[in-house]
């Protein structure tokens, strides 16, 4: 976003785009919302979109596309092999990241499957700043071990540390000493980190990691799915990047890595994914798996329209006015909530606003899923759908006991260029109201609990009639307002 100061001094994140296509939204009254969340088993994944006003579940595949992206989709060159669309995509990636080889894949986790199969042998170790769900699953599936080496400060909920995604270099050295460099498959960095609040990594940290990798002849792999927000934070929080263009910062980051992969559902605001590779030898090994799992080498499971949208989206990612929108809206929301005393993860990161349920509803024991209860309550009072990132997202131990999560978070994702500031203000207002009435919120218990990925399909019920009480208080305070 452009540097525009308001005369009144209010920190307004001014949009540098205009809206030309809109989708009508529906805000059902709170009585209907109670029915809807009950039908959904108090699981926001199971809500139907027609009952949702602000869909803040995720930023994956739901960012707004530009007019240029839509226009490019119309001229996509449809062919199984050798399409001009693919050549445009490949050339754009080589231009931006400066790596000689590219392989397409249908989304981020598909890249992880191929990297896992080629690079992770039984007993191999992958040190990383922090895991992502699908990343960890693919490494473990191939018999590998994940070591999370984010600096301790990265896990503190409230902080003013600018790069909470940074890896602790001493921990990395210790990890290599402990296992021996031979057992390390590669070092993985996620920029920015998804599960710890969209917190970014610094270029300086990546440079140090590169040095350690060189000392031990290790590969450095970057998960660049959330790179778009990370670049904005490098530019605005890291002194050495202040005078560099986004394109230059991108190149500085990519030049430190051997492989860079991404989900284009996020990076480039399209669909699909891909891997940029420096070594011909590694490229040759990975290439053989693309036709097996994805599709022919010049589409990799993507439609040509997705690829055209990705090519244009990646170019647009090099524009600070485009990529700053998400982080600045998130910053606005986090700061307004923090000012009102609502416990949120600070400093503001990318991806979305993360509410600390452990503190918000500190009267609900972890065995009654505070983050799940808060996500349910928030939908009830606002029609906004967030995502539980707490104990429900964990899996039970083999003996049936609960694994309590380190953090109980409700993530309110901020799809880029989708919402207006008045809509964001509405959610802020309802969160603050809910905080004032937090003592009314009660816990949840499972009524249907699948063994795997229970957070996707599981159903829960309130442990008391707390939802009716919350509804009654809402009516008392807001009258006949939706
Ligand atoms: C979303 C995401 C992935 C997986 O990408 P998909 O396209 O959803 O398969 C991998 N890593 C990170 C950091 C992500 O945010």
The ligand 1 atom nearest the CA atom of 266: 1
109 C-beta closer than 6 A to ligand 1? yes
Residue 227 CA to ligand 1 centre (angstroms) = 11
3-state secondary structure of 427: helix
Backbone phi and psi for residue 278, each to the nearest 5 degrees, phi listed first: -90, -35
Spatial separation of the C-alpha atoms in residues 218 and 127, rounded to whole Å: 11
Contact 187, 213 (CB under 8 A): yes
Is 457 considered catalytic here?
A: no
Spatial separation of the C-alpha atoms in residues 273 and 478, rounded to whole Å: 45
Which has the closest alpha carbon to 181: 143, 145, 216?
216
Contact 344, 355 (CB under 8 A): yes
Residue 429 CA to ligand 1 centre (angstroms) = 31
Residue 108 CA to ligand 1 centre (angstroms) = 5
Q: What is the DSSP string of 310-353?
A: HHHHHHHHT-HHHHTHHHHHHHHHHHHHHHTT--B-SS--SSEE
Torsion (CA) 257, 260, 266, 269 in degrees, nearest 10: 100
Q: Whose CA is nearest to atom 12 of ligand 1?
A: 225
Contact 360, 383 (CB under 8 A): no
Residue 380, pLDDT score: 98
Is 455 considered catalytic here?
A: yes
The ligand 1 atom nearest the CA atom of 265: 7
3-state DSSP of 303-321? CHHHHHHHHHHHHHHCCHH
226 C-beta closer than 6 A to ligand 1? yes
Is 80 considered catalytic here?
A: yes
Is 271 considered catalytic here?
A: no
Q: What angle, 0 to 180 degrees and rounded to 10, lies between the N-to-C axes of helices 133-141 and 108-119?
A: 30
The ligand 1 atom nearest the CA atom of 351: 15
Contact 165, 154 (CB under 8 A): yes
| DSSP class of 66 | P
Backbone phi and psi for residue 209, each to the nearest 5 degrees, phi listed first: -65, -40
CB atoms within 10 A of CB 109: 18
194 C-beta closer than 6 A to ligand 1? yes
165 C-beta closer than 6 A to ligand 1? no
Beta strands in 78-150 (DSSP E): 101-105, 125-128, 145-148
Is 45 considered catalytic here?
A: no
The ligand 1 atom nearest the CA atom of 264: 7
Residue 194 CA to ligand 1 centre (angstroms) = 8
Residue 239 CA to ligand 1 centre (angstroms) = 29
Label residue 218 exposed, middle or buried (CB < 10 Å: 0-12, 13-18, 19+): buried
Residue ranges of domains in the chain, CATH in brackets:
30-59+322-478 (3.90.1150.10), 67-319 (3.40.640.10)
Kindly report whether the peptide bond that precedes residue 347 is cis, defined as omega within 30 degrees of 0. Answer: yes
Contact 316, 66 (CB under 8 A): yes
**Ligand 1 pocket: which of 106, 133, 138, 263 to mutate (most atoms <8 Å of CB)?**
263
Residue 2, pLDDT score: 65
Residue 415 CA to ligand 1 centre (angstroms) = 15
Which has the closest alpha carbon to 137: 119, 111, 165, 116?
116
Q: Note down pLDDT in tens along the chain; length 482 residues.
A: 667 899 999 889 999 999 999 999 999 999 999 999 999 999 999 999 999 999 999 999 999 999 999 999 999 999 888 899 999 999 999 999 999 999 999 999 999 999 999 999 999 999 999 999 899 999 999 999 999 999 999 999 999 999 999 999 999 999 999 999 999 999 999 999 999 999 999 999 999 999 999 999 999 999 999 999 999 999 999 999 999 999 999 999 999 999 999 999 999 999 999 999 999 999 999 999 999 999 999 999 999 999 999 999 999 999 999 999 999 999 999 999 999 999 999 999 999 999 999 999 999 999 999 999 999 999 999 999 999 999 999 888 889 999 899 889 999 999 999 999 999 999 999 999 999 999 999 999 999 999 878 999 999 999 999 999 999 999 999 999 98
Spatial separation of the C-alpha atoms in residues 57 and 138, rounded to whole Å: 23
**Ligand 1 pocket: which of 57, 104, 109, 269 to mutate (most atoms <8 Å of CB)?**
109
Q: Whose CA is nearest to atom 4 of ligand 1?
A: 108
Label residue 300 exposed, middle or buried (CB < 10 Å: 0-12, 13-18, 19+): buried
273 C-beta closer than 6 A to ligand 1? yes
The ligand 1 atom nearest the CA atom of 273: 7
Residue 263 CA to ligand 1 centre (angstroms) = 5
Label residue 333 exposed, middle or buried (CB < 10 Å: 0-12, 13-18, 19+): buried
Residue 453, pLDDT score: 80
Which member of 223, 262, 360, 438 is catalytic?
Answer: 223
190 C-beta closer than 6 A to ligand 1? yes
> Encoding tokens for residue 326?
């998400």
Label residue 394 exposed, middle or buried (CB < 10 Å: 0-12, 13-18, 19+): middle
At which residue do the structure tokens 């002194």 appear? 239
Contact 105, 277 (CB under 8 A): no
Residue 394, pLDDT score: 86
Residue 451, pLDDT score: 86
At which residue do the structure tokens 């602790």 appear? 168
Which has the closest alpha carbon to 410: 445, 437, 435?
435
Q: Whose CA is nearest to atom 14 of ligand 1?
A: 225
Spatial separation of the C-alpha atoms in residues 350 and 198, rounded to whole Å: 4
Spatial separation of the C-alpha atoms in residues 299 and 417, rounded to whole Å: 28
Query: What's the predicted TM-score (pTM) here?
Result: 0.96
Which member of 97, 101, 102, 455 is catalytic?
Answer: 455
Q: Whose CA is nearest to atom 6 of ligand 1?
A: 108
411 C-beta closer than 6 A to ligand 1? no
351 C-beta closer than 6 A to ligand 1? no
Is 296 considered catalytic here?
A: no
Spatial separation of the C-alpha atoms in residues 201 and 240, rounded to whole Å: 14
First to last CA, the chain: 32
Is 435 considered catalytic here?
A: no
**Ligand 1 pocket: which of 63, 225, 261 to mutate (most atoms <8 Å of CB)?**
225
430 C-beta closer than 6 A to ligand 1? no
């Amino acid at each position: 976003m452009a540097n525009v100061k308001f005369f009144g001094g209010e920190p307004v994140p001014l949009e540098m785009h205009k809206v030309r296509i809109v989708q009508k939204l529906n805000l059902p009254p709170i009585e209907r919302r109670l029915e809807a969340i009950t039908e959904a088993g108090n699981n926001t994944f199971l809500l139907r979109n027609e009952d949702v006003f602000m869909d803040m579940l995720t930023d994956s595949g739901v960012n707004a596309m530009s007019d240029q992206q839509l226009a490019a989709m119309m001229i996509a060159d449809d062919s199984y092999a050798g399409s001009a669309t693919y050549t445009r995509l490949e050339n754009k990636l080589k231009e931006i990241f400066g790596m000689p080889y590219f392989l397409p894949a249908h989304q981020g986790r598909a890249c992880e499957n191929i990297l896992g199969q080629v690079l992770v042998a039984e007993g191999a170790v992958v040190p990383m700043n922090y895991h992502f769900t699908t990343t960890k699953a693919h490494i473990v599936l191939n018999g590998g071990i994940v070591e999370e080496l984010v600096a301790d400060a990265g896990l503190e909920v409230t902080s003013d540390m600018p790069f909470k995604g940074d890896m602790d270099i001493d921990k990395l050295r210790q990890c290599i000493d402990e296992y021996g460099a031979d057992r390390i498959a590669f070092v993985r960095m996620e920029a920015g980190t998804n599960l710890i609040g969209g917190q970014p990594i610094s270029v300086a940290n990546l440079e140090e990691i590169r040095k350690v990798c060189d000392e031990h002849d290790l590969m450095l792999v970057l998960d660049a799915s959330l790179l778009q927000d990370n670049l904005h934070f490098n530019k605005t929080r890291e002194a050495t990047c202040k005078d560099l263009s986004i394109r230059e910062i991108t190149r500085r980051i990519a030049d430190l890595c051997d492989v860079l992969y991404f989900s284009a559902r996020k990076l480039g605001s399209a669909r699909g994914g891909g891997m940029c590779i420096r070594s011909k030898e590694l490229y040759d090994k990975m290439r053989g798996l693309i036709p097996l799992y994805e599709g022919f080498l010049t589409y990799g499971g993507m439609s040509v329209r997705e690829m055209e949208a990705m090519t244009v989206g990646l170019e647009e990612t090099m524009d600070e006015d485009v990529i700053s929108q998400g982080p600045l809206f998130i910053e606005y929301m986090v700061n307004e909530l923090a000012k009102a005393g609502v416990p949120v993860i600070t400093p503001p990161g990318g991806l979305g606003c993360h509410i600390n349920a452990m503190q918000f509803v500190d009267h609900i024991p972890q065995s009654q899923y505070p983050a799940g209860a808060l996500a349910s309550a928030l939908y009830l009072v606002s029609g906004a759908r967030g995502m539980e990132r707490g104990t429900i997202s964990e899996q039970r131990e083999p003996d049936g006991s609960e694994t309590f999560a380190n953090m109980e978070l409700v993530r309110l994702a901020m799809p880029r260029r989708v919402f207006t500031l008045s809509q964001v203000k509405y959610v802020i207002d309802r969160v603050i109201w809910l905080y004032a009435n937090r003592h009314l919120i009660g816990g949840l218990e499972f009524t249907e609990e699948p063994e795997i990925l229970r957070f996707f399909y599981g159903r829960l019920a309130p442990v008391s009639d707390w939802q009716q009480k919350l509804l009654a208080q809402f009516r008392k305070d807001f009258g006949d307002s939706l």
